[in-house]
């Protein structure tokens, strides 16, 4: 029986394609199979780095349960498999957890490459404490949302959320109600892209900005913890654009 292969979890750029690592390119070139959240998006990335002749299979939230058994068999047969999402690190608000868990349970080696994610640049650039923070990702859309927000109102650590631009204003309104309008906040938009922008201030100030200016692109919201109630250095809204 051949030795089992390796599952490589490969981060891909969230914006600038130069953010990919040399190791990530090498792993994608050497892998027997690449699992992609959207094969069309990944095909563009592979073409950019001249990675040719690779078998691409779709692996997304609608089929990941069905894919686990198939990929497990390929790995046990000795294949090396690289998992990528459309952007960032698979498993972080993207498919990947189920496959990684199945491989770990089977004793199949899982190697996760360090690399791009939207969460870390957003929290580090926010100006809010980042020595300890909690990542909440996307909030529940309906069931459990109000209960979770009520619980997070007393969270002492900086909090990091993902949100879509069309829901941002409503979410900021709910944050202001749950956490208080004076809680410090930073909204990072289009990280590592040409129109990257960081809007900082109190929740009330940041909400007012996006009520006046339609939000676009990928969004990360960073909110100060319950211990950071006096946003002195954040009281005047300002923004950075790169």
pLDDT of residue 114: 95
Per residue, the 3-state secondary structure of 80-140, as one string, reads CEEEECCCECCCCCCCCHHHHHHHHHHCCEEEECCCCCCHHHHHHHCCCCCCCEEEEECCC
pTM: 0.88
- 84 shares a domain with 158: no
Range of the domain at 232: 119-241
- 139 shares a domain with 80: no
Q: Which helix (H) or strand (E) holds 221?
A: strand 219-223
DSSP annotation of 141 reads: S
- 131 shares a domain with 57: no
| pLDDT one digit per residue (tens) for the chain, 242 residues | 678 899 999 999 999 999 999 999 999 999 999 999 999 999 999 999 999 999 999 999 899 999 999 999 999 999 999 999 999 999 998 899 999 999 999 999 999 999 999 999 999 999 999 999 999 999 998 899 999 999 999 999 999 999 999 999 999 999 999 999 999 999 999 999 999 999 999 999 999 999 999 999 999 999 999 976 544 444 444 455 44
Q: Domain of 133: which CATH number?
A: 3.30.950.10
Q: For the chain, how far is it from start to end, CA to CA, in angstroms?
A: 54
d(CA 37, CA 211): 32
Nearest CA to 234 among 86, 127, 98, 129? 127
pLDDT of residue 228: 67
- CB neighbours of residue 233 within 10 Å: 10
pLDDT of residue 3: 83
- 217 shares a domain with 152: yes
Contact of 54 with 78, CB cutoff 8 Å: no
- 124 shares a domain with 106: no
- 237 shares a domain with 123: yes
Asked if the structure places residue 176 within a domain, the reply is yes
Domain's final residue, options 91, 112, 133: 112
List, in sequence order, every residue forming a beta bridge with 36; answer none if it has no partner. Answer: 58, 84
Asked if the structure places residue 142 within a domain, the reply is yes
- 226 shares a domain with 181: yes
Residue 218's SS3 state is coil
As for how many domains the chain has, the answer is 2
């Amino acid at each position: 029986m051949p030795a089992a292969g390796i599952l490589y979890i490969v981060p891909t750029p969230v914006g600038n394609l130069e953010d990919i690592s040399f190791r990530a390119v090498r792993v994608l070139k050497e892998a027997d199979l690449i699992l992609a959240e959207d094969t069309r998006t990944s095909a563009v990335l592979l073409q950019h780095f001249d990675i040719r002749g690779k078998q691409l299979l779709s692996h997304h939230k609608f089929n990941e349960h069905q894919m686990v058994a198939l990929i497990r068999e390929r790995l046990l047969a000795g294949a090396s498999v690289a998992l990528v999402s459309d952007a960032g690190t698979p498993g972080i608000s993207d498919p990947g957890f189920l496959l990684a868990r199945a491989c770990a349970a089977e004793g199949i080696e899982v190697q996760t490459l360090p690399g791009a994610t939207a969460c870390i640049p957003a929290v580090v650039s926010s100006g809010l404490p980042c020595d300890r923070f909690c990542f909440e990702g996307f909030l529940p859309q309906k069931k459990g949302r109000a209960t979770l927000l009520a619980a997070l109102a007393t969270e002492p650590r900086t909090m990091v959320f993902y949100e879509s631009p069309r829901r941002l204003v409503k979410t900021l309104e709910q944050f202001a109600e749950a956490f208080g309008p004076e809680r410090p906040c930073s909204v990072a938009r289009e990280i590592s892209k040409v129109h990257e922008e960081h809007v900082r201030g109190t929740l009330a100030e940041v909400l007012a900005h996006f009520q006046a200016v339609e939000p676009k692109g990928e969004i990360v919201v960073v909110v100060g913890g319950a211990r950071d109630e006096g946003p002195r250095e954040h009281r005047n809204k300002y923004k950075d654009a790169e």
